[in-house]
């Protein structure tokens, strides 16, 4: 934590802004003051398009850098900087060099690290340090101050991982947050340590009483969150999804989403493997319940349906999501057997539809079922950087997918060229679970 977030990244920013130890300024990695001010403004504005689930807003790095913490530096460098620094340096090698560092850090932050990952890190950091010396040190002894020991320390990260395990097992975030929780316990200015000791002892005693006598709920010091609140809805077939107000009843022929009824029919036709004409006959023509929010239980995200949750000034956009579908790799070949692979898609959730279907021979339904569907306007991906961050400019057509395919909320940040960088920090911890009966559990897209 201290090596990367509180030393290396701040030092890189000092180099880019020509404030590092009075080094010569006539170099290609320097950002002009107006450019840095623009990056700082974009950093502050990015909070509007990044959901609150991602943490607090990142301050203006050009004017409020003194407010940055290790966590803020982490988020800025891993997710904002790769977008905001694109096409900003006179020497494009400086940007490429930085994104290589971001890619290596992402590997370090994985929950588990394989032998291949460690080999990648070892060679990657070695190459990065050599390139750093070429770009910033310029192999000039008079610029030796550009090579602090924190740069050399990168070469020993893999050694630490091999001796102590993945980075998360030994970083200081946990201890520092615990220390922060102790601050309110200091009630005496005269005897601060005695006051803190008493707090720690009493908290430990309470914890043991809860465990021994199974009184966790009765002795809870804060309200226990309920899984289901008033006005919320849970469908038995979707145990991980909780629908949240507002709830409206509208017909599917909505001018705001042209062709929504047809998209729902396409979803049903794909799911039940029936002709489109058959599926259309089962799409309700009357009022259909539609919801404005969905919450994933057990610590998951809350996602907003933009058609029903309006975005006001100061609010943070939580309507963009990542969803995962099965794609037939052989869809272009008529005579080949289908071969499916999971693929990620991104888009804006427009509405959540609750569809009740009666028993039907045409759909091979022996009893009524309820489907939760999401109408999503898909992002048209245009580019990807070397770290795998994806970029899009426009949103495409609406597609209707099973809500079980929607995995998590994502953030966005806009670069100077008008492309939106997609911030998806869920990784392998938020993936769709494809059970053997694919047609029952998820919508399958072919194409």
DSSP SS3 for 29:
coil
pLDDT at 393: 95
Mean pLDDT over each residue of the chain, to the nearest integer: 89
Say if CB 309 and CB 293 are below 8 A apart: yes
- pLDDT at residue 446 greater than cutoff 50: no
pLDDT band at residue 227 using 50, 70 and 90 as cut-offs = low
pLDDT band at residue 2 using 50, 70 and 90 as cut-offs = confident
- pLDDT at residue 13 greater than cutoff 70: yes
In the predicted model, what is the mean pLDDT of residues 323-331? 84
* Local structure of residue 180 (DSSP, 8 states): H
How large is the angle between the packed helices 173-182 and 192-213, nearest 10 degrees? 110
pLDDT band at residue 68 using 50, 70 and 90 as cut-offs = very high
* pLDDT above 70 coverage of the chain, percent: 94
pLDDT band at residue 168 using 50, 70 and 90 as cut-offs = confident
In the predicted model, what is the mean pLDDT of residues 2-11? 92
Predicted TM-score of the model (pTM) = 0.85
pLDDT band at residue 332 using 50, 70 and 90 as cut-offs = confident
pLDDT at 129: 97
- pLDDT at residue 157 greater than cutoff 70: yes
- pLDDT at residue 429 greater than cutoff 50: no
Instruction: Name the nearest CA neighbour of 353 among 300, 294, 298.
Output: 294
**Among 18-32, 34-48, 269-283, where is mean pLDDT lowest?**
18-32
* CA distance linking residue 15 with residue 12, whole number of Å: 5
Say if CB 45 and CB 24 are below 8 A apart: no
pLDDT band at residue 1 using 50, 70 and 90 as cut-offs = low
H, E, C per residue of 312-367: CCCCCCCCEEEEEEEEECCCCCCCCCCCEEEEEEEEEEEEEEEEEECCECCCCECC
Determine the distance from the C-alpha atom of residue 243 to the mean position of all C-alpha atoms in its chain, rounded to a whole number. Answer: 21
More confident residue, 110 or 172: 110
More confident residue, 326 or 115: 115
* pLDDT above 90 coverage of the chain, percent: 67
- pLDDT at residue 127 greater than cutoff 50: yes
Centre a 10 Å sphere on the Cβ of residue 379 and count the other Cβ atoms it contains: 23
pLDDT band at residue 445 using 50, 70 and 90 as cut-offs = very low
In the predicted model, what is the mean pLDDT of residues 120-140? 95
pLDDT at 224: 64
Q: Which two tokens stand for residue 307?
A: 């058609």
pLDDT digits (tens, 9 = 90+) for 286-316: 899 999 999 998 778 999 999 999 988 888 9
| CA-to-CA dists, residue 85 to 51, 89, 134, 148, angstroms | 21, 7, 20, 23
pLDDT band at residue 170 using 50, 70 and 90 as cut-offs = confident
Peptide bond connecting 246 to the previous residue in cis, omega within 30 degrees of 0:
yes
pLDDT band at residue 430 using 50, 70 and 90 as cut-offs = very low
pLDDT at 225: 62
Q: What is the dihedral of CA 105, 111, 114, 120, to 10 degrees?
A: -10
In the predicted model, what is the mean pLDDT of residues 348-364? 94
pLDDT at 172: 81
pLDDT at 441: 39
| CA-to-CA dists, residue 53 to 175, 303, 409, 424, 432, angstroms | 22, 10, 8, 12, 20
Centre a 10 Å sphere on the Cβ of residue 389 and count the other Cβ atoms it contains: 22
Say if CB 356 and CB 338 are below 8 A apart: no
3-state helix, strand, coil in the chain (%, to 5): 40, 20, 40
pLDDT band at residue 443 using 50, 70 and 90 as cut-offs = very low
- pLDDT at residue 139 greater than cutoff 90: no
pLDDT band at residue 437 using 50, 70 and 90 as cut-offs = very low
pLDDT at 439: 37
pLDDT at 42: 96
- pLDDT at residue 436 greater than cutoff 60: no
pLDDT at 339: 81
Measured over the CA atoms of residue 194, residue 200, residue 204 and residue 207, the dihedral's sign is: positive
Say if CB 26 and CB 397 are below 8 A apart: no
Residue 400: strand pairing partners: 375
* CA distance linking residue 139 with residue 151, whole number of Å: 15
């Amino acid at each position: 934590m201290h090596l990367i977030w509180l030393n290396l990244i701040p030092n890189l920013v000092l180099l880019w802004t020509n404030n590092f130890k009075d080094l010569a300024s006539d170099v290609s990695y320097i950002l002009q003051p107006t450019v840095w001010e623009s990056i700082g403004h974009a950093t502050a504005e990015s909070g509007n398009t990044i959901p609150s689930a991602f943490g607090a807003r990142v301050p203006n790095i050009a004017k409020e850098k003194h407010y940055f913490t290790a966590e803020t530096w982490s988020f800025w460098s891993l997710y904002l900087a790769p977008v905001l620094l694109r096409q900003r340096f006179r020497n494009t090698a400086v940007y490429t060099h930085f994104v290589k560092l971001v890619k290596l850090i992402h590997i370090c932050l994985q929950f588990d690290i394989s032998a291949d990952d460690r080999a990648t890190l070892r060679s990657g950091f070695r190459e990065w340090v050599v390139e750093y010396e070429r770009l910033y040190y310029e192999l000039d002894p008079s610029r030796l101050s550009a090579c602090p020991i924190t740069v050399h320390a990168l070469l020993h990260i893999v050694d630490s991982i091999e001796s102590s395990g993945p980075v998360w097992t030994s970083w200081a975030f946990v201890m520092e947050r615990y220390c922060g929780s102790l601050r309110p316990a200091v009630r005496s200015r005269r005897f601060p340590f005695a006051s803190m000791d008493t707090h720690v002892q009493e908290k430990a005693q309470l914890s043991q009483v809860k465990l021994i006598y199974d009184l966790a709920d009765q002795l809870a010091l804060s309200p226990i969150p309920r899984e289901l609140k008033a006005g919320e809805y849970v469908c038995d077939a979707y145990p991980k999804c909780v629908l949240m107000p507002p709830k409206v009843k509208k017909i599917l022929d909505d001018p705001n989403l042209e062709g929504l009824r047809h998209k729902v029919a396409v979803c049903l036709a794909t799911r039940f493997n029936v002709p489109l004409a058959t599926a259309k006959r089962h799409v309700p023509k009357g009022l259909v319940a539609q919801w404005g929010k969905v919450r994933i239980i057990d610590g998951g995200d809350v996602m907003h349906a933009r058609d029903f949750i309006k975005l006001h000034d100061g609010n943070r956009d939580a309507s963009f999501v990542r969803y995962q579908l099965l794609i037939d790799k052989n869809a272009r070949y008529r005579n080949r057997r289908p071969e499916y692979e999971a693929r990620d898609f991104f888009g804006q959730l427009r509405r959540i539809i609750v569809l009740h279907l009666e028993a039907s021979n045409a759909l091979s339904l022996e009893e009524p079922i309820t489907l939760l569907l999401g109408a999503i306007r898909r992002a048209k991906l245009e580019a990807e950087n070397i770290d795998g961050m994806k970029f899009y400019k426009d949103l495409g057509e609406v597609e209707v997918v099973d809500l079980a395919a929607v995995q998590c909320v994502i953030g966005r940040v806009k670069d100077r060229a008008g492309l939106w960088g997609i911030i998806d920090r869920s990784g392998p911890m938020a993936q769709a679970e494809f059970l053997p009966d694919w047609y029952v559990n998820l919508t399958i897209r072919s194409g």
